[in-house]
Structure 1
Amino acid sequence: MASTVKNVRSTFELSGRNYIVTGGAQGIGFTISRAICEMGGNVAIWDIQDKPVDDKEFNTWATEFGSKTLFVQTDVTKKESLEAAFKKTLDVFKTVDGCVPSAGIAIDKPFIDQTWDEFNRIQEINVRGTFFAVQMVARHLIEQKKPGSILLIASQSAHIALPGYRMAAYNTSKGGVMMLAKVLGVELAPHGIRVNTISPGFVDSDQTRNIREAKPSKREGEQMWLAPPNQRLSKQSDLTGAAIYFLSDASIHTTSADIAITGGLHAGTIDGLISYEK
């Protein structure tokens, strides 16, 4: 009987594949975009900003990795903007093999004080923007009769109530994203389309920095790195290995799955600060 064991290294390659990353002008989306290029893929970044925060680095990927890159200013809350971005992407890449909708916002505010408009804005970007970006990509893959991989960005907030943070609207949105990946992984499997999630913990970024600095005391802000069992903030590069795994053929039989990258916080906390200074 011939051996069915295959070499592992090549299954992580993304050579010749094209991916869309929303919210990729900075933060997690930017880091995952770079990782896609490093592994041989091409990337189209869609973002509300007019250019990447680190435009100089973005412009090196084509020469450093031999990848095609595209940046499209896009508002994921607007149907017409999404459709225009997708058309422009296909004009350049001709086809896509998957997407990583990472556009997202959060607020840290007591539940009883969160407003109608704040809630709606979070759901529009985090959930609806993700839903319809994925829908366009899935429809294209089905029409082209080709397999694909879609990676959604959930959060530790889809697993737990964060110690020291009051983010009900955000938790709700990320719970929705995780459930969306589960149901789409099932529904789209007959078409060879896999849908998975990663759940980042407290990642060192402008967003988490702003939330931390808005805390009434330094002690409450410190819970971001003291509450996780590993007792540190996540780096954006902590996420890229799992992202490439899900986008590549290394995870060819994996769908509707989640990898929590939280320093252990999704499982609990023992020594983290859980009290509040008045």
Structure 2
Amino acid sequence: MSRLLDGKVAIVTGASREIGATMAELLAAHGCAVLAAHFGEAERAEALAERIRANGGRILIHDADLSRVAANQALIARAVDAFGRVDILAANAGLTISAPFLATTEEQWDTLFDLNVKGSFFAAQAAARQMIAQQSGGRIIFSASVTGVQAIPGLSAYGITKAALRHMAKTLACELGLYGITVNALGIGAIVNERNRNDDPEYEAHWGRVTPTGRVGLPTDVAQALLFLASPEAAHITGQTLIIDGGWTLTSPLPPSS
């Protein structure tokens, strides 16, 4: 396999769960030294590190609450201390809270925005400052969602945070382009994972029936899109949201379980 990112340093947040872990593994396989950030999931993070090291990759794990500005600044500093630079930020950390609009609480709103929006913004700010100091460009990629494109009942506050990430990619792209830094977002659709398999044994079948490609998304689908946007081939792509949903947003029907 040709390695697209030899010598690069990547930070992946939210790296202990399926999508983030798959991102970290793919970036490491393509030559990146990876700083994998998690929050209180040391066992999962250590398992990820073992897999990457077993395949000859370089990884450092970092436990942090990225809803705090100082924690995002410390994250970038840790990567520089360990690997000397930062080339790629995959701002993937986030959480989902499902609640009807009329029942959404201030605490739920603040929890979502503190991590999904504030955390992503200040991680990008700290990374961009480092990239500018290096004078070698860089890549910032946010994990957004199709809920930021298409309204889904019960996910109003969450969807608003993901729409904010799409706009964040646009505005930061305008400010950082002259430094050789591209900023994009991933519009992630339904992706099978351990949690939704446990919550709904028919999750894959339900989403497969309402998706034009006939199947639910996989973490590897998201990671491959990230790899492309992080690669030299995507140097002239910025301010965009790459939708990864098998065409679901073309028609947007919800499965019976939703």
Match of 1:106 in 2: 96
Matches within 5 A, 1:61-80: 61-64=52-55, 66-80=56-70
Q: One-letter code of the match for 1:153?
A: S
CA deviation map 1:224-256 (0-9, x unaligned)? 443322343211111122111100101111111
Question: CA contact under 8 A between 2:14 and 2:37: conserved in structure 1?
Answer: yes
SS state at 1:255 partner: coil
Matches within 5 A, 1:122-161: 122-161=112-151
SS state at 2:82 partner: helix
C-alpha change, 1:275 and 1:135, in structure 2 (3 Å) is closer
CA deviation map 1:153-200 (0-9, x unaligned)? 1111111013xx410011000000010001111110000000111111
Larger radius of gyration: 1
Match of 1:5 in 2: none
TM-score scaled by structure 1? 0.85
* CA distance in 1 between partners of 2:214 and 2:40 (Å): 33
CA deviation map 1:14-68 (0-9, x unaligned)? 000001111111121111011101111111011112425263342131341x332
Match of 2:162 in 1: 174
Count how many residue pairs are aligned between Structure 1 and Structure 2: 258
Q: Percent identity?
A: 26
Gaps of at least 5 residues in structure 2 are none
Question: CA contact under 8 A between 2:184 and 2:238: conserved in structure 1?
Answer: yes
Q: One-letter code of the match for 2:42?
A: K
* CA distance in 2 between partners of 1:25 and 1:274 (Å): 30
Match of 1:3 in 2: none
C-alpha change, 1:220 and 1:19, in structure 2 (3 Å) is closer
Match of 1:256 in 2: 239
C-alpha change, 1:57 and 1:84, in structure 2 (3 Å) is closer
Match of 1:117 in 2: 107
TM-score scaled by structure 2? 0.91
Pick from 183, 186, 198: which aligns with 2:174? 186
Question: CA contact under 8 A between 1:158 and 1:171: conserved in structure 2?
Answer: yes
Q: Quick check: 1:15 aligned with 2:3?
A: no
SS state at 1:71 partner: strand
Match of 2:33 in 1: 42
C-alpha change, 1:33 and 1:275, in structure 2 (3 Å) is closer
Question: CA contact under 8 A between 2:15 and 2:45: conserved in structure 1?
Answer: no
